[in-house]
């Protein structure tokens, strides 16, 4: 019975990933014959990577459908039903930090930032900065659900603050900051923590899951922008002191 549940809808997931991959493969083949003209061994290595990526995506998405979503919602319902549900705020902080710390896309971004900057911006500092920013945003999102605070109370002041800090930041950190916002909203956050938020909103009286449960991702996208811009100010201040 457990095997049936684990592999339920597996063929549908394979079809979804295949449809998503097919245009990429076709485009690569067109550019290979028309422009790139890579040697055979390199094309073979690329296709090996595509096969591994395909398998990984299928397994990951199947895990999301049969595990992440239901477990996240169950946890959210259990925590939201607590008498002292304010504990969701620190728990949200921990979940946000851990999820971002384990996010593959964040790891790739921090590596590329360190590489492109020649080690000037260490990947560990970037990783902790992004994890801290998302942790704060998740705790704010949980507080918003508990106390019914409108989303725009956070979004409008947040982006106004970001635009003000941009005026004093460097172009390099501005570019990294806005890329970080998109990267932080990766599969770990979207699949698990959003399910927790929906579970919480569904059990708290007077909360509409469509209003309070969603919107969390917008906070997650905003917080890394602010934290990376602030990190840029610290780097600029350090440079001024060194000079």
For residue 192, the model assigns a pLDDT of: 83
For residue 126, the model assigns a pLDDT of: 94
Which has the closest alpha carbon to 221: 124, 91, 98, 106?
106
For residue 191, the model assigns a pLDDT of: 81
**How far from chain centre, in Å, is Cα 19?**
23
For residue 3, the model assigns a pLDDT of: 47
For residue 138, the model assigns a pLDDT of: 93
For residue 81, the model assigns a pLDDT of: 87
For residue 139, the model assigns a pLDDT of: 94
For residue 4, the model assigns a pLDDT of: 46
d(Cα 112, Cα 145) in Å, to the nearest integer? Answer: 35
Q: What is the pLDDT of residues 199-223, one digit of tens each?
A: 998 888 888 888 877 888 889 899 9
d(Cα 238, Cα 102) in Å, to the nearest integer? Answer: 29
pTM higher than the cut 0.95: no
For residue 104, the model assigns a pLDDT of: 84
CB atoms within 10 A of CB 196: 29
Distances (CA, A) of 188 to 72, 183, 204: 11, 11, 24
**Residue ranges of the chain with pLDDT lower than 50?**
1-4
**How far from chain centre, in Å, is Cα 177?**
14
For residue 6, the model assigns a pLDDT of: 65
């Amino acid at each position: 019975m457990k095997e049936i549940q684990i592999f339920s809808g597996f063929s549908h997931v394979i079809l979804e990933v295949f449809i998503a991959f097919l245009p990429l493969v076709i485009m690569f083949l067109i550019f290979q014959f028309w422009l790139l003209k890579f040697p055979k061994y390199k094309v073979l290595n690329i296709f090996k990577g595509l096969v591994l990526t395909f398998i990984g995506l299928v397994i990951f998405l199947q895990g999301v459908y049969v595990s992440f979503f239901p477990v996240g919602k169950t946890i959210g319902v259990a925590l939201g039903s607590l008498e002292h549900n304010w504990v969701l705020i620190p728990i949200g902080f921990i979940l946000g930090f851990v999820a971002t710390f384990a996010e593959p896309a964040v790891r790739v971004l921090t590596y590329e930032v360190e590489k492109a900057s020649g080690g000037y911006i260490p990947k560990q500092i970037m990783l902790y900065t992004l994890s801290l920013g998302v942790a704060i945003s998740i705790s704010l999102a949980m507080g918003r659900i508990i106390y019914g605070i409108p989303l725009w109370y956070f979004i409008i002041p947040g982006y106004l603050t970001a635009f003000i800090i941009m005026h004093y930041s460097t172009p390099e950190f501005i570019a990294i900051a806005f890329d970080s916002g998109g990267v932080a909203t990766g599969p770990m956050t979207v699949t698990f923590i959003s399910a927790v938020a929906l579970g919480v909103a569904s059990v708290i009286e007077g909360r509409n899951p469509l209003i309070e449960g969603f919107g969390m991702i917008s906070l997650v996208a905003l917080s890394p922008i602010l934290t990376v811009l602030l990190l840029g100010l610290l780097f600029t201040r350090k440079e001024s002191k060194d000079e």
